[in-house]
Amino acid sequence: MSNLDPDHLRLTDFMDLPTLQEIQDSFSSIAEVKVTITDAAGNLITAPQPTSDFLRRQQAIEAAEENVPGPMREGREYVAPIIVNNQRLGTIRMSSGGAMSTADESKLATIAERHQLDTRTLKQIFSQFQRQKNTKSAAIQFLFLLANAVARLCYQEFQLRQRINELTAVYNVSMLMADAREVGKVLQRTVEMVTQIMDVKAASIRLIDPEKDELVIKAVHNLSERYLSKGPIHLSSAAIDREALGPAGFCYVRNMASDPRVLFPDESLQEEIVSMLSVGMRYKGRSIGVLRVYTSQEQHFSQLRVDLLKAVAAQAAAAIENARLLVESLEAERLDEQVRMAADIQRRLVPQQPPEAPGLDLACIYVPCYELGGDFLDFIKLPDDNLGLVVADVAGKGVPASLIMASVRASLRAQVDNHYYLYEVLRRVNVMVCRDTDPSEFITLFYGVIDTRNRRFTYANAGHPPAMLLRKGEVTELPGGNMVLGVDPDEPFSQSFIELQSGDVLLLYTDGLAEAMDFENQLFGKERIIEALQRGGENAHQIAENVRWSMQRFVGLRKQSDDISMIVARFL
C-alpha cells in the first residue's frame, strides 16, 4: 500500500472508480435525479447513465429552475463537497428541480448497508420526499447525507492508512535498531526517519551525561550548526526535558519563542522553529535521554502522534542500552580472555609436582579461590643439596593479588641467589614490597631451607601461620615470627632453626586452610588441622590429601572463600 501525501489527497486515494460509480448509479436510480461525482478541480470522475425518463424529467426541471437562485448552488446544480482532513477531495452534484419518486425500501436498505449509511435517516428523508414533492429541502438533505457518508468512509480509510504507515515506520525503526553495533549511525537514521514520518522540520536525540548533568546531542537532522552550538542544556535546569522524562512521558511547546520554559528562545526564533514536542527515552525505568521534533509553523500534536513518537523513543532507548550491554559484553569477554591467559601463566609459576631431593618425600597442594589467586608456594633448589620451601599469602584476591604474588615470587628468587641469610632475604623483599605496593597490600610469607646433609631446617616467618612439625604422633608449631611484608621498610627480620629426625613431617600452609568455614560459619581451625595431620599416611602425598579432604568434609558443599596452599615434607 503506497504512502499518502497529506497535502495532496485525492478522492480516488480512498475509493476506486467502480465503487464511486455504484454509489452514484444506486442513488440516482432511487432519487431519479441526475447525480454525478467530480474531483476537487471539478473534473468528472463518474460516468452518468441516465434513463430516457430521467432525461425528459431533467429537461423539465432545467426549464423551470433555470433562473431560480437557491442555497448551495453552482449554476443549475446543488453541490455537496466531500471533505477529508480539511481538504476538498471532490463534489457530489445534483441538478435542481424535481422530487423523488417512491423509493423501494428493500433497495434502500441494501444500499445503506453496502455504503455504511444510517437506514433510519434515509427512510425519514424519503418519507419527507413523499410529503414534500414540490420542495427541494429533502433533496438537498439527501445530497449532503450522501456526501458526508462518502467523506466518512474516505476519512476512515485515511486514518487506517495513516496508522498502517506509522506502524510500518515503527517496525522499520525497530529493525534498524536491531543492529546495536553502530548505534551512532542507527540514531542518525532514526532522526531522519522521524522527521519524514512526523512531517516536521527537524528532529534530534540528546542523551544524558550524569557526570556533567548535561543532555548531549548524539543525532540531529535539519538543524543548523549555529543552533546546535547555542550552549549546553543541563538537565537540572531543563524544565521541558524533565517533564518529558516524568510520568507523562512527553512535553509540548506551542511556541518556542514565547514559552518561558525554553532556554534559548532567541536562537529558536532565528532557526525558524516554532512548535516542539519532546518525549523521554527510558529503558526499564532508567532515563536515557530525549527525542525531540520541531516544526516551522505552530502545530498541535494529536495523541496518536505523541504515542508514535513515544514508541520510536522507546525503541531508540532500547537500542542504546543494547549497544551499551554489547560493549560491556565484549569488554568482559576480552577481560575474561586476559584473566584466563594470566591464570595459565600463574599455574606455570606454581609447581605442579615437587622436586626430588635426597632423604625427602615432598608433596604440595594449590587450590585458588578464583581463577587467579593470591597464594603461592615454591620449591627453590640451592647449592650443597639445600632446598628452599616457600608459602605466602597476598592480602586480597583475584587479579591485583595475583600480580603482587608474581612480583614477590620474582623478588624472592632474585634475593636467594645472592644472599645466604634468610633474614636478609626477607628484609630486601620487604623493602621492595613497601616500595611497590600500598600498606593495605601486605604479604605474609614463610621461607625455610632444608639442609638435607645435616638434617637441619632453618626458617624465617613474616607474619604467616606457623609451620607444624609432626614428630612421633605429636604436633608442635615452629616458634618465631616477624612483621608481615609491605608495612615498614625499616623492619628487621630474624631466623630460627630446628634439627630434624627420620619420620618427622613438616606442614607449611596458608590461612585459607584454617579459615575454611562450613554452612554454620564455623572455622575448620588449627585443631582440626592437627588432628588430620596426626592421622598421617604412608607418604607425603597421602598426608597432604588427608588434610585436604578432612577440610573438604567439614565445609561440605559451601563455596571456597580463600586460596589454599600446602607443602608437606616427610623426612626419610
| pLDDT tens string 323-376 | 777 777 777 778 777 777 776 776 777 788 899 888 899 999 988 877 667 788
Q: Are residues 417 and 357 in the same domain?
A: yes
Question: What is the three-class DSSP state of 59?
Answer: helix
Q: CA–CA separation, 343 vs 497, rounded Å?
A: 35
Give strand pairing partners of 79.
93
What's residue 295's pLDDT?
94
β-strand pairing of 276-283 with 87-95 = unpaired
Strands (E), 35-169: 35-39, 73-74, 77-84, 87-95
Give strand pairing partners of 444.
393
Task: Assess if residue 269 is contained within a domain.
Answer: yes
Instruction: Compute φ and ψ for 386, nearest 5 degrees.
Output: -90, 150
User: Helix, strand, coil: what percent of the chain each, to 5?
Assistant: 45, 25, 35
Instruction: Compute φ and ψ for 77, nearest 5 degrees.
Output: -120, 145
First to last CA, the chain: 93
**What cell was used for 80?**
455537496
CATH number at residue 392: 3.60.40.10
End position of a domain, from candidates 161, 196, 227: 161
β-strand pairing of 386-394 with 73-74 = unpaired
CB neighbour list of residue 442: distance below 8 Å, 6 or more residues apart:
395, 433, 463, 484, 485, 486, 487
Q: What is the DSSP letter of 368?
A: -
Q: Which residue has the cell 580463600?
A: 562
**What cell was used for 269?**
526564533
β-strand pairing of 456-462 with 375-382 = unpaired
pTM of this structure: 0.52
CATH number at residue 149: 3.30.450
Q: Are residues 252 and 359 in the same domain?
A: no
Q: CA–CA separation, 184 vs 173, rounded Å?
A: 14
End position of a domain, from candidates 291, 326, 361: 326
Q: 253 with 275: CB under 8 angstroms?
A: yes
Chain CA centroid to CA 365, Å: 44
Task: Assess if residue 338 is contained within a domain.
Answer: no
Q: 513 with 502: CB under 8 angstroms?
A: no
Q: 281 with 290: CB under 8 angstroms?
A: yes
Between the alpha carbon of residue 177 and those of residues 318, 319, 533, the distances in Å are 8, 5, 63
Q: CA–CA separation, 455 vs 479, rounded Å?
A: 18
Q: CA–CA separation, 520 vs 395, rounded Å?
A: 25
Task: Assess if residue 447 is contained within a domain.
Answer: yes
Q: Are residues 385 and 520 in the same domain?
A: yes
End position of a domain, from candidates 115, 136, 161: 161
Task: Assess if residue 130 is contained within a domain.
Answer: yes
What's residue 440's pLDDT?
77
Q: Are residues 15 and 143 in the same domain?
A: yes
Q: Are residues 191 and 268 in the same domain?
A: yes
What's residue 171's pLDDT?
61
Residues in the chain with pLDDT < 50?
1-2, 50-51, 53-55, 57-58, 61-62, 64-71, 98-102, 132-135
Q: CA–CA separation, 466 vs 124, rounded Å?
A: 110
- Between vectors from CA 347 to CA 342 and to CA 349, what angle results, nearest 5°? 95
- Residues, the chain: 572
Q: Are residues 156 and 184 in the same domain?
A: no
What's residue 243's pLDDT?
93
- Between vectors from CA 492 to CA 515 and to CA 427, what angle results, nearest 5°? 80
Q: CA–CA separation, 426 vs 349, rounded Å?
A: 20
CATH number at residue 288: 3.30.450.40
**What cell was used for 422?**
634468610
Q: Are residues 145 and 194 in the same domain?
A: no
Task: Assess if residue 72 is contained within a domain.
Answer: yes
Rg of the chain on CA atoms, in Å: 46
Q: Which residue has the cell 525531540?
A: 292
Question: What is the three-class DSSP state of 365?
Answer: strand
Q: Are residues 320 and 381 in the same domain?
A: no
What's residue 25's pLDDT?
67
Task: Assess if residue 302 is contained within a domain.
Answer: yes
Number of domains forming the structure of the chain: 3
What's residue 308's pLDDT?
83
Task: Assess if residue 6 is contained within a domain.
Answer: no
What's residue 61's pLDDT?
43
Domain that holds residue 209: 178-326
- What is the H or E stretch that residue 451 is in? strand 443-451
Q: Are residues 285 and 396 in the same domain?
A: no
Task: Assess if residue 89 is contained within a domain.
Answer: yes
What's residue 319's pLDDT?
77
Q: CA–CA separation, 279 vs 236, rounded Å?
A: 17
What's residue 64's pLDDT?
46
Q: Are residues 212 and 249 in the same domain?
A: yes
**Sheet of strand 73-74: strand arrangement:** 35-39, 87-95, 77-84, 73-74
Q: Are residues 470 and 380 in the same domain?
A: yes
Q: Are residues 394 and 543 in the same domain?
A: yes
Q: Which residue has the cell 590429601?
A: 545
